[in-house]
Amino acid sequence: MSIFKGAGVAIVTPMKENGEINYDVLGELIEFQIANSTDAIIICGTTGESATLSEEEHSEAIRFAIKKTAGRVPVIAGTGSNCTETALKLSREAEADGADALLLVTPYYNKATQKGLIKHYTTIAEAVKLPIILYNVPSRTGCNILPETAVYLGKHVENIVAVKEACGNISQIAKLFQLADGCLDVYSGNDDQIVPILSLGGIGVISVLSNVAPKETHDMVMAYLNGDTETARKLQLRSLPLCNALFSEVNPIPVKKALNLMGMQAGPLRAPLTEMEEEHVEALRKAMVDFGIKLA
Given 164, 187, 256, 257, the catalytic residue: 164
> How far is the C-alpha of 77 from the C-alpha of 79, rounded, in Å?
6
| Cα separation values, 102 from 47, 68, 223, 237, Å | 15, 18, 26, 30
- Residue 121 appears among annotated catalytic residues: no
Q: Helices (H), strands (E): how many in the chain? A: 12, 8
What gap in Å lies between CA 200 and CA 100, rounded to an integer?
26
The length of the chain in residues reads: 296
In sequence order, what are the beta bridge partners of 40?
A: 8
Q: Is 69 annotated as a binding residue?
A: no
3-state secondary structure of 21: strand
CA dist 70 and 65 (Å) reads 8
Residue 132 in 3-state DSSP?
strand
* Cα 79 to Cα 238: distance, rounded to the nearest angstrom: 33
**Residue 47 marked in a binding site:** yes
Other residues' Cβ atoms within 10 Å of the Cβ of residue 105: 25
- 164 is annotated as an active-site residue: yes
Residue 138 main-chain phi, psi, to 5 deg: -60, -25
Catalytic residue from among 135, 152, 187, 224: 135
Annotated binding site for pyruvate: 47, 206
Task: State the catalytic residues.
Answer: 135, 164
Q: Which residues are annotated as a binding site?
A: 47, 206
